[in-house]
A and B are shown apart, each in its own frame.
Chain A
């Protein structure tokens, strides 16, 4: 791999990687069982240059921002490289947001350029908010010939030859603005520098290296901090190969493991659980005598890997299981949300090491990772090299808020100095997560101090952002909370949003109101929906400026209503 200490920016490191690993395969893109693209590092360089040229022609200067709005595919990485090559700041946007939300973040980021997939662009152009778009250049990928692009240009039409000027950036220059959440409310644009990424990459690859021949299956959205690092920067810096699938259909994901002999994959808990269901279903289909043999082999593997993962030995003991994963899988990397220890243990016992960690967008990618020495499903691992963690104001059990200091911690929140000051105090990032260290230095998490949830799909949802959809609900007042914020539990999981409702005097909670709540809830993406409600009999406590005192209301709710009193919506 490249010695990242020598580099001042991602563009320079990636440029050298493309030269150094020229003939190695860097990208494979498949749609279902059809392979669409296979590129070497040299091909990648050749294809990305016309795009860098297009940016240059559009007077895209160093420090200008370019947003990417695409599903995982080769053009995501090609476009990102062209932006870094041109000295630009990348703004990866979440393709799962609604068009209005995407437009809101585009405006907030002040992106000059947008690279977008055709079907996403089509949705954006149909939004009433589209008329206010200020992006100067829009490059639309995979648009059908002759399609109306509403001022956009076809990505594939940029073919001008020649090498544009490379724009060098410094370590403390901004590399990316990544939105950790905040649509509908207060956008949280994490401003991350080149140093943040170079140091994060160094730390991660020190524990889990890539090398030419390694194949990483990219399933998590590349706009997510984890996939951006382990599905782009990390593999490219080391000459490895990234495999993109244009579908998340479980059956094709399972096929891809085998077809491309995947080495690493990063998954959110929802997908790992789905995989577990698939594997268990296969086990259940076995005749009882085969199942008995399998159980014995799993038991033996469990015993032999108790202190250390032994992938080669596990493959010999459980060949049929490992063939299902392609036979070369070294680790399932999980993160982004709470992962049930039992699921992790299930895979580990089959000889598929599960590398769980803990991180947040504000800290680059990961702060801790399990080093598998030994595997600990009950923790999120140890701090990565260069990461300092401490527990603030621990209680009698040693549990307190986790604070982090590292070269990977973001510079600030975009255009929000107040929130930055609240979040980074004396150089320490206050994570809002509660945890403690055990005697062997592993971090254990116990819940959240913040009023937010993280879904099984790894999405951060802030209740304040959800409330806009319920504006005008015919009640006196309402407020949305994370259930675990109101009723803390000493573990993660069981996360849901709960609405506290205060009815008008003499108003009754009737089926009409319930229907109205349901209809509004359905306007939200499924992972953002409110899961239940409680009727509150008193006026909400408010500040002098009439804002709801959320913390005070949460405390009153906690004292008066049991969590079991929440009615499912």
Chain B
């Protein structure tokens, strides 16, 4: 199983690739709505990509109130 830090790093890399931004622009505690300029539906799109990558399933409500990569990584890590 990957460590929490590895999971976080993978998420940042996948998010950068999905939204076509340089990886170095994204930091763990960034508000992804703001940094990526995305709305909540685009966040759900990203979540689907992450689920497929990590082979987990997260209900929509798990994302409620989550706006930074680190918290998102924690939610995914908890289901690995």
Set of chain B residues within 8 Å of A249, measured between Cβ atoms: 44-45, 47-48, 60
Residue-wise interface mask of B (55-67) relative to A, using a CB-CB cutoff of 8 A (1 in contact, 0 not): 0000111001101
Residue A79 is within 8 A (CB to CB) of chain B in the complex: no
Q: Is B42 an interface residue (CB 8 A)?
A: yes
**Contact mask for chain A residues 106-132; partner B; CB cutoff 8 A; 1 contact, 0 none:** 000000000000011000000000000
Q: Is A42 at the interface (CB under 8 A from chain B)?
A: no
CA–CA, A247 and B44, complex, Å: 9
Taking a contact as CB atoms under 8 Å apart, the answer to whether A274 and B41 are in contact is yes
B contact residues around A456 at 8 Å (CB): 39
A522 to B68, CA, bound (A): 10
Give Cα A522–Cα B47 distance, bound, in whole angstroms. Answer: 20
The residue on B at minimum CB distance from A569 is B34
Q: Does B6 contact A (CB under 8 A)?
A: no
B49 to chain A, nearest CB (A): 10
A526–B67 CB distance below 8 A: yes
Task: Judge whether B40 and A251 touch: CB under 8 Å.
Answer: no
B22 to chain A minimum Cβ distance, whole angstroms, is: 20
The answer to whether A247 touches B60, judged by C-beta atoms less than 8 angstroms apart, is yes
Cα distance A96–B61 when bound, in Å? 9
Interface footprint category on B: 10 to 19
**Which chain B residues lie closer than 8 Å to A316 at the CB level?**
none
Residue B33 lies at the interface, judged by CB distance under 8 Å to chain A: yes
CB-contacts of A496-545 with B (<8 A): 518, 522, 525-527
Residue of A nearest to B62 (CB): A119
Does B10 have its Cβ within 8 Å of any Cβ on chain A? no
Residue of A nearest to B43 (CB): A526
* Complex alpha-carbon distance, A71 and B41, angstroms: 16
CB-based nearest B residue for A518? B31
Set of chain B residues within 8 Å of A246, measured between Cβ atoms: 59-60
A321 at the interface (CB under 8 A from B): no
- Complex Cα–Cα for A250 and B38 (A): 14
One digit per residue, 1 when the CB lies within 8 angstroms of any chain B CB and 0 when it does not, for chain A 228-256 equals 00000000000000000011111100000
CA distance in complex: A71, B59 (Å):
12
| CB-nearest residue of chain B to A275 | B41
Task: Identify the closest chain B residue to A457 (Cβ).
Answer: B40
Q: Bound complex: CA of A115 vs CA of B33, how far in Å?
A: 32
CB distance A119 to B48 under 8 Å? no
Nearest Cβ on chain B to A478's Cβ, whole angstroms: 20
Please give, as numbers and ranges, the residues of chain A lying within 8 Å of B47 by CB-CB distance: 249
Could you tell me if A98 and B65 are in contact, using CB atoms closer than 8 angstroms?
yes
Q: A526 contacts B44, CB within 8 Å?
A: no
Interface size for chain A: under 10, 10 to 19, 20 to 34, or 35 or more residues? 20 to 34
A270 touches B61 (CB 8 A): no
Which residue on B lies nearest to A526, using beta carbons? B33
Answer yes or no: A566 CB below 8 A from chain B CBs.
no
- CA–CA, A420 and B39, complex, Å: 35
Partner of A274, one of B42, B61, B65, B67: B42
Chain A residues with CB under 8 Å of B33's CB are 526
Residues of B within 8 A of A119 (CB): 59, 61
Contact yes or no, A525 B48, CB < 8 A: no
Nearest residue (CB) in B for A523 is: B65
B7 to chain A, nearest CB (A): 21
- In the assembled complex, the CB of B30 is this many whole angstroms from the nearest CB of chain A, namely 11
Docked-complex contact B67 and A522, CB < 8 angstroms: yes
Q: Which residues of A contact B67 (CB under 8 A)?
A: 522, 526
Decide if A250 touches B44 in the complex (CB within 8 Å).
yes
Distance in Å: Cβ of A520 to nearest Cβ of chain B: 13
Q: Which residues of A contact B60 (CB under 8 A)?
A: 71, 246-249
Contacts of A96 on B, CB cut-off 8 Å?
A: 64
Residue contact A271 to B61, C-beta cutoff 8 Å: no
Distance to closest chain A CB from B56 (angstroms) = 13
Q: How far is the CA of A96 from the CA of B64 in the complex (A)?
A: 8
Question: With the chains together, A274 CA to B44 CA distance in Å?
Answer: 11
Contact for B61 among A71, A518, A526, A527, CB less than 8 A: A71
The answer to whether A250 touches B45, judged by C-beta atoms less than 8 angstroms apart, is: yes
Residues on A with C-beta less than 8 A from B44 are: 247-250
Bound-state Cα–Cα, A274 to B31, Å: 21
User: Closest B-chain residue to A456, C-beta based?
Assistant: B39
Q: Tell me, rounded to whole Å, the shortest Cβ–Cβ distance linking B43 to chain A.
A: 9
B-contact 0/1 string along A253-274, CB 8 Å cutoff: 0000000000000000011001
Cβ distance B68 to chain A, nearest Cβ, rounded Å:
8
Question: Is A248 within 8 A of B64, CB to CB?
Answer: no
Of residues 434 through 485 on chain A, the ones whose CB sits less than 8 Å from some CB of chain B are: 456-457
Chain A 307-327 interface 0/1 with B at a Cβ cutoff of 8 Å (1 = within): 000000000000000000000
B65 to chain A, nearest CB (A): 7
* A113 CB to nearest B CB, Å: 22
Interface centre among B41, B45, B59 (most CB of A within 10 A): B41
Contacts of A274 in B (CB 8 A): 39, 41-42
A247 touches B59 (CB 8 A): yes
Contacts of A526 in B (CB 8 A): 33, 40, 67
Q: How far is the CB of B28 from chain A (nearest CB, A)?
A: 14
A405 CB to nearest chain B CB (Å): 36
Pair A248/B65 contact, Cβ less than 8 Å: no
Residues of A within 8 A of B68 (CB): 522
Contacts of A98 in B (CB 8 A): 65
Closest to A32 in B: B57
Instruction: State A249–B63 Cα separation when bound (angstroms).
Output: 12
Once A522-B31, A526-B33 are accepted as A-B contacts, the answer to whether A271 and B64 lie under 8 Å apart by CB is: no
- Give every chain A residue within 8 A of B65 (Cβ-Cβ): 98, 525
A41-74 Cβ-contact flags toward B at 8 Å (1 or 0):
0000000000000000000000000000001000
| 10 additional contacts (CB under 8 A) given A249-B48, A250-B45, A274-B41 | A119-B61, A120-B61, A246-B59, A248-B44, A270-B39, A522-B31, A522-B67, A522-B68, A526-B40, A526-B67
Pairs A–B under 8 Å by Cβ, sample size 13: A96-B64, A119-B59, A246-B59, A247-B59, A247-B60, A249-B45, A249-B48, A250-B45, A251-B45, A270-B40, A270-B41, A457-B40, A522-B67
